[in-house]
Chain A
Amino acid sequence: MPEGATATAREMSAKLPRLLAGLRRGRPTTLAEHRERLGPMPSTASGRERSELLGEVERSGLRGRGGAGFPTAVKLRAVASGPGPRILVGNGSEGEPASRKDTLLMARAPHLVLDGATFAAALVGATEAIVCVKESSEEAAASLLTAVQERSDAGLEEIAVAVRVVSSAYVAGEESALVHQLNGGDGKPTFVPPRPFEAGVGERPTLLQNVETLAHLALIARLGAEWFREVGTPDDPGSVLVTMSGGVSRPGVYEIAAGTRLGDLVKAAGGPTDPLQAFLIGGYAGTWFDVRSALDLSLDHQTLRALGGTLGPGVVIALPEGACGVAETAAVAEYMARASSGQCGPCVHGLAAIADALNDIASGRAAPGTHEWVARWSDDVVGRGACHHPDGAARLVSSCLDVFGAEIERHERNRTCAPPPGMTGLLPTRGAEPVGAGG
């Protein structure tokens, strides 16, 4: 990792927060408060203005914040070059059980998300804009609806944004699944191509962006690419919202510079509550890292990808020494198997077999060598679903085999572990309680 890629904690406090600045406790920011702090959005009325602003987004180097980290400008250009009418979809479905950042952003900073949505819609010439919120995020949906009304009452000259409530299920937020829902389907991924940017909602070219990505666009539009790049790494500029949970004193949503040392994030979250053994980075399609190598990791897409991991949607979970990484992963593997949309054989059968075997290992029922089957199946399922759900689950399980190898061998010699009270079920496998902004 290049020395310069790591932002120091001091830089963090000097330049951040950006998205989470000016938030009010327990209520959304009003349009008046929002506009007083940030001023109006730049005009996108003329073709020249739009083309200049698109160039600005390109120079900012913004990557999508939904998980894949795809360059936002490439997507914008792909949709803009498609045949009209086009449509924008803001994805706030946040299916990751341990992620809170999208919901927090929509609930407390709805105008930032809506600024970004109307701006992105204007850049690609969309005639319709929708922001999707999952069923369980009632507060976020209410905030957005109020904000849409405020904007209409204020007579803002912009495209009207529709707020749609969508399924809270894990895979329902996957791009093709979300499009499927908006087309009246059941929230299951579809076989691609066509991809949404080619033929999405109503068969129209569809720009799908995570709501945090939209919020960054709202700031880039006002403050420019150079400002955006003042924090972050050259490959992954800007700030990132992360949801930190597990064995830290102040779990919650934090805004960090991309490239921040994990150790600095842990410090910002109040430090560990217990001695730690590992971190899960990137959510349930992410990977485990041993605590010895993890604390110096730079939290950016390039670094994590080079290590076979992912920043994903910014989920970081600290695992205390007293917990069992194998049992925790087994519970998540079971969740991921249940979360399968049930359409593709390798995902249905493969994830179920992986979860069963891992549960057998964790509970001391598995024969020695069972982990070799888990490893084989985890390799087998990759790339064999219509969506990347099996790939993500396999990535997490494979990293569990690497990081908790010694633990697995102990379990396979018919030994169970008995974590103390409070040290089980650390990785949520159902809708959990909302978490407020940290720091």
Chain B
Amino acid sequence: MSVRLRVNPIACEGHGMCAELFPEWIELDDWGYPIVAGEPVPPELLEHARRAADACPTLALLLERSSSGRERVT
């Protein structure tokens, strides 16, 4: 089981709070929208990730739990 951050790009309005709260994992592009690292968030940083997700005014930052090896069907 690992936890990853994911943005709902439709909901995201580029407020940028997440990058301020969790710069280790999130940077902003030239228009202020977050670029989120795709790797699993290590346990010691989970609290930061949670704080960033909670702070998003549009609830666009998601903490996703996934077990490895899940099958994706497009």
Chain A: residues with CB nearer than 8 A to chain B? 68, 70, 74-75, 78, 175, 190-191, 195, 197, 343-347, 349-350, 353, 377, 380, 384-386
| Interface contact A191-B33, CB-CB below 8 Å | no
| B74 close to A68 (CB less than 8 A) | yes
Partner of B35 from the list A175, A191, A384 (CB cut-off 8 Å) is A384
Chain B residues whose C-beta falls within 8 Å of the C-beta of A190 in the assembled complex: 10
Q: Which of B10, B13, B32, B33 contacts A386 (CB 8 A)?
A: B10
B3 interfacial contact with A, CB 8 Å: no
How many Å lie between the Cα of A373 and that of B29 in the bound state?
12
- What residues of chain B lie closer than 8 Å to A386, measured between beta carbons? 8-10
The chain A residue sitting closest to B9, CB to CB, is A344
Taken together as a complex, chains A and B put the C-alpha atoms of A197 and B30 apart, in Å, by 35
Question: How near does chain A come to B9, taking the closest CB pair, in angstroms?
Answer: 4
A345 touches B31 (CB 8 A): yes
When distances are taken between beta carbons in the complex, the residues of chain A under 8 Å from B33 are 345-346, 349, 384
Q: Chain B: residues with CB nearer than 8 A to chain A?
A: 7-14, 29-33, 35, 73-74
With A353-B30, A380-B29, A386-B9: A345-B73 Cβ-Cβ less than 8 Å? no
CA distance A384 to B9 in the complex (A): 7
Q: How far is the CA of A346 from the CA of B12 in the complex (A)?
A: 10
Complex CA–CA separation, A68 to B74 (angstroms): 8
Residues of A with C-beta under 8 A to B29: 346, 350, 380
CB distance from A123 to the nearest CB of B (A): 16
Q: Which residues of B contact A345 (CB under 8 A)?
A: 9, 12-14, 31-33
> B11 — which chain A residues lie within 8 A by C-beta?
191
**Residues in chain B near residue A197, CB distance under 8 A:** 73
Q: Is the beta-carbon distance between A344 and B10 smaller than 8 angstroms?
A: yes
Q: Which chain A residues lie closer than 8 Å to B74 at the CB level?
A: 68, 70, 175, 195
The smallest beta-carbon distance between A405 and chain B, in angstroms, is: 23
Q: How far is the CB of B41 from chain A (nearest CB, A)?
A: 18
Check B73 against A75 for contact (C-beta < 8 Å). yes
User: CB within 8 A of A385: which of B9, B13, B30, B73?
Assistant: B9
Hey, which chain A residues are within 8 Å of B7, CB to CB? Answer: 384
Q: What is the distance, in angstroms, from B25's C-beta to the closest C-beta of chain A?
A: 15
Interfacial chain B residues near A195, Cβ < 8 Å: 73-74
Residue of A nearest to B73 (CB): A78
Q: A78-B73, A343-B10, A345-B14 are in contact. Are A377 and B35 (CB under 8 A)?
A: no
**What are the 4 A-B residue pairs with the smallest beta carbon separation, nearest first?**
A344-B9, A349-B31, A345-B33, A343-B10
Cα distance A273–B34 when bound, in Å?
47
Question: In the complex, A343→B13 CA distance in Å?
Answer: 10
Central interface residue in B8, B32, B73, by most chain A CB within 10 Å: B73
What is the minimal beta-carbon distance from A22 to any residue of chain B, in angstroms?
Answer: 33
For the complex, what is the distance from the CA of A321 to the CA of B10, rounded to whole Å? 41
Contacts of B32 in A (CB 8 A): 345
Expressed in whole angstroms, the Cα–Cα distance for A344 and B34 within the complex equals: 11
Q: How far is the CA of A350 from the CA of B29 in the complex (A)?
A: 9
Show 23 A/B contacts (Cβ-Cβ < 8 Å), sorted by A: A68-B74, A70-B73, A74-B73, A75-B73, A190-B10, A195-B74, A344-B10, A345-B14, A345-B31, A345-B32, A345-B33, A346-B9, A346-B31, A347-B9, A349-B30, A349-B33, A350-B31, A380-B29, A380-B30, A380-B35, A384-B7, A384-B35, A386-B10
On whether the beta carbons of B10 and A377 are closer than 8 Å, the reply is: no
Q: Tell whether, in the assembled complex, residue B73 and residue A343 are in contact, meaning their CB atoms are under 8 Å apart.
A: no
Residue of B nearest to A388 (CB): B74
A386 to B11, CA, bound (A): 10
In the complex, besides A346-B31, A380-B30, 11 extra interface pairs with C-beta distance below 8 angstroms are A68-B74, A70-B73, A70-B74, A74-B73, A175-B74, A195-B73, A343-B9, A345-B13, A346-B33, A349-B31, A353-B30
